[in-house]
């Protein structure tokens, strides 16, 4: 989608945070019937970070990542107008963004959660860009944070080897139209395939109210369920189409892309998507070997690392794509303006 804008939006700074506990493949092979070799060959993952200290939570991780981004932007938290927390594992079903707002002292900011699993951060950036490009807000903090370890069945080798916990944050700021860095996007949802990847709520008992006036179904969320093969096929077929459509709408050729930053789910997916787009593997940004699939955190975590490593240069074109539960997937093309 080509944007018609009143003012430009650009990513000013990034930050990230992961739990201290590092769990290597060898340790997982003592919990479930798997091996380091299987996990590395099939996914590229070597280790992941897992939240296990009582005092740590998604709020701690999201706040730490945000404080680092604010520091890197030399920005006072009171200057943030809006906080968007992309997460599917909040501390509270009513949302966790408000608690992050309080924790970092961004008392002037409106704050809300955005739920779109592994596509959450891409949707967060695009949502923030709308508020900035139409002139409503100037400084927006977008956080991708997930703690899927609490929804994983740790006896299921199909899923427990894949996921890790983490948080990444970016500050998006308004700028002159000519300096706009959020160039365009392409988004999709296919709810007919929602059952391929979900953390379903199951009604499993009935509460009777006094005098039998009401029968109320109650229950709880189950463990994360994923049909890995189907999600794999969906990702390698649909993500390249989304990227191609987005680049075409912006008149950008794949050879003019400097970096391909995909949701960090599986190394084979990253390579298959790059292959289909004829984008060279050395343009892929990847850190999934260290963190696994951190859901909404994976893209900002990898972006922050690439910035720290000084890989990304001014005016580089970065193609960012998320995909996952929903099923939801999409692309945002940015130009680095700092």
Is position 231 an interface residue for ligand ACO (rule: CB under 6 A)? yes
- Rounded Cα distance between 237 and 305, Å, is 27
| Least distance in angstroms from the C-beta of 330 to ligand ACO | 13
Point out which span in 3-11, 55-63, 124-132, 228-236 binds ligand ACO (CB under 6 A): 228-236
Q: Is 289 in the site for ligand ACO (CB under 6 A)?
A: no
Strand partners of residue 324: 328
Q: Mention every residue, 6+ apart, whose C-beta is less than 8 A from residue 27.
A: none
Q: Is 329 helix (H, G, I), strand (E, B) or coil?
A: strand
Query: CB within 8 A of 268, min separation 6: which ones?
Result: 42, 43, 44, 232
Rg, the chain, Cα only: 20
Active site residue 263: yes
- Confirm or reject binding of residue 265 to ligand ACO (CB under 6 A): yes
Cβ closest to ligand ACO, residue 174 vs residue 295: 295
CB 75 within 8 A of CB 171: yes
Only segment of 101-109, 223-231, 245-253, 307-315 that touches ligand ACO (CB under 6 A) = 223-231
Give the C-alpha separation, 68 to 65, whole Å.
5
Q: 85 with 95: CB under 8 angstroms?
A: yes
Contacts of ligand ACO in 115-144 (CB under 6 A): 117-118
* Alpha-carbon distance values, 228 to 34, 110, 186, 234 (Å): 16, 37, 24, 10
End-to-end CA distance of the chain: 24
CB of 231 to ligand ACO, least distance (A): 4
Closest CB to ligand ACO: residue number: 324
**Consecutive H or E run containing 186:** strand 182-189
| Nearest-approach distance from CB 167 to ligand ACO, in angstroms | 15
Per CB under 6 A, the list member of 293, 294, 298, 335 interacting with ligand ACO is: 293
Residue 240 is a binding residue for ligand ACO (CB under 6 A): no
- Minimum distance between the CB of residue 148 and ligand ACO, rounded to whole angstroms? 7
34 part of the interface to ligand ACO, by CB under 6 A: yes
Least distance in angstroms from the C-beta of 240 to ligand ACO: 14
Assess whether 338 carries a catalytic annotation: no
Active site residues: 118, 263, 293
Q: Which residues are at the interface with ligand ACO (CB under 6 A)?
A: 34, 38, 42-43, 117-118, 157-158, 161, 197, 228-229, 231-232, 235, 265-266, 269, 293, 295, 324-325
């Amino acid at each position: 989608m080509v944007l018609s804008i009143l003012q430009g939006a650009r990513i000013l700074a990034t930050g990230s945070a992961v739990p201290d506990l590092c769990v290597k493949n060898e340790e997982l092979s003592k919990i479930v019937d798997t091996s380091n070799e299987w996990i590395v060959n099939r996914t590229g993952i070597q280790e992941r970070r897992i939240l296990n200290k009582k005092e740590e939570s998604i709020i701690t991780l999201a706040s730490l990542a945000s404080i680092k981004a604010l520091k890197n932007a030399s920005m006072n938290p009171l200057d943030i107008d809006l906080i968007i927390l992309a997460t599917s594992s909040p501390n509270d079903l009513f949302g966790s963004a408000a608690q992050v707002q309080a924790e970092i002292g961004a008392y002037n900011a409106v704050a809300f959660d955005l739920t779109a699993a592994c596509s959450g951060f891409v949707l967060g950036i695009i949502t923030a860009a709308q508020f900035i490009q139409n002139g409503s807000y100037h400084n927006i903090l977008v956080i991708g944070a997930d703690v899927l370890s609490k929804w994983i069945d740790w006896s299921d080798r199909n899923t427990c080897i894949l996921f890790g916990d983490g948080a990444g944050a970016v500050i998006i700021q308004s700028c002159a139209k000519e300096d706009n860095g959020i160039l365009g996007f392409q988004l999709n949802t296919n709810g007919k395939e929602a059952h391929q990847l979900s953390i379903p709520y199951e009604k499993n008992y009935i509460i009777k109210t006094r005098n039998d006036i009401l029968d109320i179904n109650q229950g709880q969320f189950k463990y994360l369920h994923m049909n890995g093969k189907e999600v794999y096929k969906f990702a390698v077929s649909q993500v390249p189409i989304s990227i191609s459509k987005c680049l075409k709408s912006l008149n950008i050729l794949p050879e003019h892309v400097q970096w391909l930053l995909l949701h960090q789910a599986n190394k084979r997916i990253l390579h298959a998507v790059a292959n289909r787009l004829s984008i060279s593997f050395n343009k892929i940004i990847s850190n999934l070997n260290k963190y696994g699939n951190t859901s909404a955190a994976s893209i900002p975590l990898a972006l922050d690392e690439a910035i720290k490593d000084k890989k990304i240069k001014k005016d580089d074109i970065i193609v960012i794509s998320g995909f996952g539960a929903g099923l939801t997937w999409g692309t945002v093309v940015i130009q680095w303006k700092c």
